[in-house]
Amino acid sequence: RKLVGKLSTGCVEFDEMMGGGIDTQSITEMYGEFGSGKTQVAHQLAVNVQLPQEQGGLNGSVIIIDTENTFRPERIEQMVAGLSERFGMEYDYEEFLKNIRVARAFNSNHQILLVDSALELANELKDAEKPVKLIIVDSLTAHFRAEYIGRGTLADRQQKLNKHLHGLQRFGDLNNACVVVTNQVMSKPDAFFGDPTKPIGGHIVGHTATFRLYLRKSKGDKRIVRLVDSPNLPDGEAIISVTTPGLRD
């Protein structure tokens, strides 16, 4: 087992709550309502992971499994410009974009298969300048939620999700990479998925994800990130701002 790496979020409070940053070899689940900032944090991590360790990165590249077509290259450009503000040096946006490989998942089975493709790609890039150090699944649960409707399909869905998460955990272990997944919670009660404040996928996701982050909106661009039920860190909250040049304290 390799030493666990830490990926900085670029936010002091957020990093501190996580014991220094997002861990490699673990699954970190971000859950929250629409607009709570899950996709924004994911974009920022896709940028930060490429930085050298002294700037909080893992000198790596990233694979994004995009299930809702919410990846925005122009956000990466803005966030890379934001890095220049933070560190007072120039960065090449094109280089950053090159190191983000985005795969669209058309349904839940395809999404699961894409983890195998990601494993192959990461293996090819093992000795590259920037090996894959982060895999993002945004959203982990949207396809599952759309496809498995009705009580009779619940066990099936959980079994598939479980298999998917095991594949992702394996990816994190084999590549000493961070695994970040998003999961929407409903603002209104849902007939099939029960408690609106609980993430979709409930128990299984809950048991597999090592770090669970509950995001919620606050005033203006502020977001509250809560670390929930971590096995080795105290529960806590961090306030971040989602701004055009990226995440800020």
Give the residues lining the site for Mg ion (CB under 5 A): 38-39, 70
Cβ pair 215, 224 in contact under 8 A:
yes
**Nearer residue to Mg ion within complex by CB, 69 or 232:** 69
Describe the chain by its helix, strand, coil percentages, rounded to 5. 40, 25, 35
Cβ pair 238, 11 in contact under 8 A:
yes
Q: Quote the least distance from Cβ 84 to Mg ion, whole Å.
A: 26
Bridge partners of residue 69, in order along the sequence = none
Among 21, 32, 167, 201, binds ligand GTP (CB under 6 A): 32
**Contacting residues for 207 by C-beta, under 8 A, at least 6 apart:** none
Among 40, 50, 61, 175, binds ligand GTP (CB under 6 A): 40
Task: Residue 32: name the closest of 106, 170, 140 by CA.
Answer: 140
Supply 4's token pair: 């666990």
Rule CB under 6 A: is residue 216 a binding residue for ligand GTP? no
Contact string 176-195 vs ligand GTP (x = CB under 6 A): --------x-----------
The whole-angstrom separation of Cα 225 and Cα 32 is 9
**Nearer residue to Mg ion within complex by CB, 6 or 143:** 143
**Nearer residue to ligand GTP within complex by CB, 93 or 125:** 93
- For residue 188, CA distances in Å to 152, 196, 197, 241 come to 22, 6, 9, 25
Rule CB under 6 A: is residue 242 a binding residue for ligand GTP? yes
Q: What is the DSSP string of 101-150?
A: EEEE--SHHHHHHHHHHHHHHHHHTTTSSS-EEEEEEETSSHHHHHHS-S
| Residue 133 touches which member of Mg ion, ligand GTP, none, C-beta under 5-8 Å by kind | none
Rule CB under 6 A: is residue 82 a binding residue for ligand GTP? no
**Nearer residue to Mg ion within complex by CB, 70 or 169:** 70
**Nearer residue to Mg ion within complex by CB, 70 or 241:** 70
Among 6, 38, 143, 145, binds ligand GTP (CB under 6 A): 38
**Contacting residues for 89 by C-beta, under 8 A, at least 6 apart:** none
- Which region among 38-46, 151-159, 164-172, 205-213 touches ligand GTP (by CB under 6 A)? 38-46
User: What number of CA atoms fall less than 13 Å from residue 64's CA on the CB side?
Assistant: 28
The whole-angstrom separation of Cα 137 and Cα 149 is 21
Q: Quote the least distance from Cβ 106 to Mg ion, whole Å.
A: 17
Q: Quote the least distance from Cβ 222 to ligand GTP, whole Å.
A: 10
Q: Quote the least distance from Cβ 217 to ligand GTP, whole Å.
A: 8
What residues line the site for ligand GTP (CB under 6 A)?
Answer: 32, 34-40, 70, 75, 78, 184, 221, 242-244
